[in-house]
């Protein structure tokens, strides 16, 4: 830190110390489990649909057929999941901006959140963080057993304290900035499809 920065730092901290109000206690934060939804999966599905995400609840055993029907024009499919090979792996991208060439990105989320319909992703699943934003369409597998009740439970996930990057993603990119009507997409992924899919045994592959 250079001398100007040190001066600024000390000036700010001194001013803050001199002006801080009388110390107030930190409250205890409950998780409000008494208000837990009765059916976590149904609540998750309701809220992600409200945020324009698509949920497929029936088991999709043949991912290849599913993708061909849902995204018939997709050529570049980036997969980070063992269940599906795809046409490209994130490690093959030379620059993070090259993720814009991806048509469909296949991922698995380690956690869903019922009260908001969110899924969790981090740099572990993404490997190249831009694939979730520059790819046109996202398909995310989620084990329904990994859906937690609310945001309090969600922020207990170790990713938020350990990973450089993590995101609670809730539907595709959208904006209500023109006319107050929310449209999709805005700047990032055009669609988000969540497949409720139990975590497979290691080594099982299709596609």
Range 32-91, binding other proteins (CB under 8 A): 32, 35, 47, 50-51
Quick one: which H or E segment has residue 6? helix 3-19
Task: Kindly identify the residues of this chain, within the stretch 121-150, that bind other proteins according to CB under 8 A.
Answer: 123, 129-130, 132-134, 150
152 part of the interface to other proteins, by CB under 8 A: yes
Give least dist CB 149 to other proteins, A: 12
Q: Which one, of 169, 171, 206, lies nearest residue 59 by Cα?
A: 206
Among 173, 191, 193, 197, binds other proteins (CB under 8 A): 173
What count of Cα atoms within 13 Å lies in the side-chain half-sphere of residue 125?
Answer: 23
Give the span between the Cα atoms of 54 and 71, in whole angstroms.
14
Give the span between the Cα atoms of 193 and 172, in whole angstroms.
9
# residues near other proteins by CB under 8 A: 72
15 part of the interface to other proteins, by CB under 8 A: yes
Give least dist CB 41 to other proteins, A: 16
> Closest CB to other proteins among 9 and 68?
9
166 part of the interface to other proteins, by CB under 8 A: yes
Task: Kindly identify the residues of this chain, within the stretch 84-123, that bind other proteins according to CB under 8 A.
Answer: 96-97, 100, 115-118, 123
> Closest CB to other proteins among 12 and 42?
12
Give the span between the Cα atoms of 7 and 65, in whole angstroms.
63
Give least dist CB 164 to other proteins, A: 4
Give the span between the Cα atoms of 28 and 106, in whole angstroms.
39
Give the span between the Cα atoms of 207 and 197, in whole angstroms.
16
């Amino acid at each position: 830190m250079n001398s100007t920065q040190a001066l600024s730092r000390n000036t700010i901290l001194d001013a803050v110390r001199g002006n801080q109000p009388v110390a107030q206690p930190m409250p205890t934060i409950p998780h409000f489990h008494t208000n837990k939804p009765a059916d976590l999966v149904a609540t998750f599905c309701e809220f992600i649909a409200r945020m324009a995400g698509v949920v497929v609840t029936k088991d999709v055993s043949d991912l290849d057929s599913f993708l061909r029907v849902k995204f018939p024009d997709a050529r570049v499919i980036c997969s980070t999941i063992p269940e599906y090979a795809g046409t490209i792996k994130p490690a093959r991208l030379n620059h993070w901006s090259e993720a814009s060439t991806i048509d469909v990105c296949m991922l698995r989320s380690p956690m869903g959140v019922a009260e908001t319909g969110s899924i969790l992703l981090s740099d572990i699943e993404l490997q190249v963080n831009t694939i979730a934003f520059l790819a046109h369409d996202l398909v995310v597998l989620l084990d329904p057993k990994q859906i937690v009740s609310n945001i309090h439970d969600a922020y207990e996930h170790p990713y938020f304290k350990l990973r450089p990057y993590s995101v609670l993603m809730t539907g595709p990119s959208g904006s209500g900035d023109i006319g107050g009507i929310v449209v999709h997409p805005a700047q990032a992924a055009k669609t988000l499809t969540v497949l409720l899919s139990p975590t497979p045994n290691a080594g099982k592959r299709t596609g």
